[in-house]
Structure 1
Amino acid sequence: MEAMQVKLIDENRYADEMRETVLPALATCRSEGWMAPADDDGLPPLQRAGKLHYVCYDAAKFDRLGEDGAAATFRGAVVISHGFTEFAAKYAEMVWYFLLAGYSVCVFEHRGHGYSARDVDNSSLVWIDDWRRYVADLAKFAETVGKDYADGRPLNLYCHSMGGGIGASVLETHPTLFDKAVLSCPMIAPVTGMPNWLASVLAGAMCRLGLGRHMVFGQSEFTPELDMADYEGASEARVRWFQQQRIDDPHQRTYAATFAWVRQALRLSRAVQRPEACDNVETPVLLFQAGRDVWVLNEPQNRFAQEVNSDGGNVRVVRIENSLHEIFSMPNAVLGPYLERILGFFGSSEMPTF
């Protein structure tokens, strides 16, 4: 299949187009729900009760709107697994493009994020007791809600950063769950500012001292101020839109890691890179990496791909040299080819060559 052309939102009118066109259209096909956490015998008991939030968008209802550029052909469903400190509303633009291409979309908010159950009172902090909880919850969501929306057609996975590390583990533990998967700058290994083995030792020591729920040194709580110098090269319109979502909704202000989260992120990193785990991946994977990434490491992504491919798997790595970590936040000149590759991959019967 040839790369699918995408009509992108005009960056010069970004906020207006989001408010006037995209969000009203999404509202007509949007539903939300709450899922009980996965019941996994290998996980410790939950310390706090609560359900996990998700938002879904029905392609059939969307198609009835007759939006310009819509495929009007149902192709299945896409499950979105977001990154660290993110939330469902941040992916409205990506949801819009998937709907235009004919996919229903199911966005899952990981534990401790968005409207899902939290285990700390400070809305800026992210804490998790066991990384396997993320994996079990995402797999349950895809097996139930995702498959329902796919309605017998392909069920695909799109994930970013932390959500990509979680997604990689799901591909290893549930090798037939998804038909295809896009790992966008996946957290196969995070950037910690020091060798990750040392960060693991330090985070473990802080947890043993009873400081697992404390904010990691050097991070901060959410503030409404935005310094575009931190996003040089990104689309200012998109970055400001994301920030406004946080300002407008206290549920969307997760911003900093706890020592326990760092400890578990590094345990996840080690687990997904194990050769015996990589050997289990059967799903065709398109892995994007950013040349200017400061949040996750590129080389472990390459090793992950090589390890999966060495045992007959199918991972294709696409490197975007001039991109920041959030490729979906980049200007249209970068976002357009990125989206076309994703949609071409999802829509093809074979692994496309790029």
Structure 2
Amino acid sequence: MSAERYDDPGLRPPGMSVGRIRAADKATLRVAAWRTQEGCAGTVCVLPGRGEFIEKYYEVVAELLGRGFDVVVMDWRGQGGSTRQADHPAKGHIDDFSAYQRDLEALRVEALEPYARRPFYALAHSMGGAILLDAAHAGRCFFERVATTAPMIDLCRLRYARALRGLARSLCVSGLAKAFAPGAGGPKPYPLKPFAGNPITSDPGRYARMGRLVAASPEIAVGAPTVGWVDAAFRLMWRFENPDFAREIFEPFLIVAAGDDRVVDTPAIETFAARMKAGRCVTLRGARHEILMERDPIRAQFWAAFDAFIPGAPAQGARAPDAAAAAGGGAPVALGS
């Protein structure tokens, strides 16, 4: 499918319903939902990575609708159109990754259980994948199957990891948890930075589209992570290092890793997946971190793996119906306000 159809920031798959849900600690989360026109195969929840937002996934939403799925996308707390946890709107801050588990529970209770059509599946990226692995380990994963791209198991080629963990912890104890992490880039969102040398995607058209989305709606973007977010991420990734963590996850996971990932560590992902009881890892050669924002040949490999893994998706090699056409005319999903 051509990316050009989604270049205009105002062009979204039709039938979009937007609402807000509230987590147990009162954080407000923005959720968008679509219903496929007919023959629903279930609901796919798209759970983005750090710093991402609903609008970035319009193309993915249309492709899922074309496969016969209803779609729900949520902005995690601290990013997109959801509650910020710091005084600066460009700071995507949290104190502990357990906060994201409250977001997941709110999604289940307030959006999926009352309104969405079963079965429930998840498509998560990077941080979103790490959150779902944590939920599955704790027995709180309510999805039948999970597909995740480049999950945040460990950071790529991180030198002096132990020292950096200690530094992040020390800065938090010193009261600097809500400061931008030193050397991480400050408040400027990455889609507004030059394409050349970016670690995200090799597709210039999709990268430019991200920049236009942020330029059109700067309030949905965040910049570098805070010290507190980095400290929380280190603590979660440290738990992933325990070989028993992966072995204690029993839900089916499809893990799609990027062969040219410079954000998260692909060998660590492959090792983690090999330990899982019901996990499978596929590594895509030449792909950078954001596989779903990559060039068409790479994305086609992802969708082939997804279609073979998720029941109800088109058979591998079959062509899905035109996604934009499939999205039209469907009744929007009602969401709690």
**Secondary structure in structure 2 of the residue aligned to 1:116:** coil
* Distance in 1, Cα, partners of 2:68 & 2:113: 16
| Alignment TM-score, normalising by the size of structure 2 | 0.85
Write the distance in 1 (CA, Å) between the matches of 2:194 and 2:154.
26
Shift of 1:273: 4.3
- Are residues 157 and 328 of structure 1, via their aligned partners in 2, closer, same or farther at CA, if it must alter by over 3 Å? same
Q: Counterpart in 2 of 1:133? A: 99
Q: Deviations over 1:106-148 (max 9, x none)?
A: 1111110111111212222211011111123213313542344
Which stretch has the larger CA shift, 141-150 or 330-339? Answer: 141-150
Q: In the alignment, what sits opposite 2:196?
A: 229
1:251 and 2:219 correspond: yes
Structure 1 residue 22, shift from structure 2 partner: 9.5
Structure with the bigger RCO (C-alpha within 8 Å, sep 6+) is: 2
Choose the corresponding residue for 1:124, options 85, 90, 101: 90
* Aligned: 1:184 with 2:149: yes
Whether 2:258 is the aligned partner of 1:290: answer: yes
Q: 3-state SS of the aligned residue for 1:229?
A: coil
Residues 19 and 32 of structure 2 are in contact (CA less than 8 Å); yes or no, is this contact kept in structure 1? Answer: yes
**After superposition, what is the alpha-carbon deviation per residue over 1:259-296, rounded to whole angstroms, capped at 9, x for unaligned?**
11000001111234444443432221110111111111
Instruction: Give the residue type in structure 1 aligned to 2:297.
Output: A
Query: Do structure 1's residue 57 and structure 2's residue 34 form an aligned pair?
Result: yes
Q: Helix, strand or coil for the counterpart of 1:181?
A: strand
- CA-CA distance at 1:57 after TM superposition: 1.1
Q: CA separation in 2, counterparts of 1:174 and 1:150?
A: 21
Deviation, 1:220, is 2.2
Query: C-alpha displacement at 1:81, in angstroms?
Result: 1.1
Change (3 A) 1:172 1:99: same
Give the structure 2 partner of residue 18 of structure 1: 6
Give, in whole Å, the separation in 2 of the partners of 1:144 and 1:168.
22
Unaligned runs of 5+ in 2: 317-337
Q: Secondary structure at the match of 1:134?
A: helix
Aligned length: 311
Aligned to 2:295: 331
- Find out whether 1:214 has 2:182 as its counterpart: no
* Equivalent position of 1:341 in the other structure: 305
The alignment partner of 2:229 has SS state of helix
Cα distance in 1 for residues equivalent to 2:158 and 2:9: 41
Question: Is 1:267 matched up with 2:253?
Answer: no
Q: CA deviation at 1:181?
A: 0.5
**Code of the aligned partner of 2:193:** L
1:84 counterpart = 2:39: no
Counterpart position of 2:119: 154
Please say if 1:36 is aligned against 2:22. Answer: yes
Q: Which of the two has greater helix per residue?
A: 1
Task: Tell me, in whole angstroms, the C-alpha distance in 2 between the residues paired with 1:258 and 1:30.
Answer: 32
Which of 113, 125, 128 is 1:163 aligned to? 128
Match runs of 1:74-113 below 5 Å = 74-113=40-79
Aligned to 1:287, the other structure's residue is in SS state strand
Checking the alignment, whether the CA contact within 8 Å between 2:21 and 2:110 is kept in structure 1 is: no
Q: Runs of 5+ in structure 1 lacking a partner? A: 1-7, 40-48, 64-71
Equivalent position of 2:330 in the other structure:
none
| SS class of match (1:125) | coil
Of all paired residues, the percent bearing the same amino acid is 25
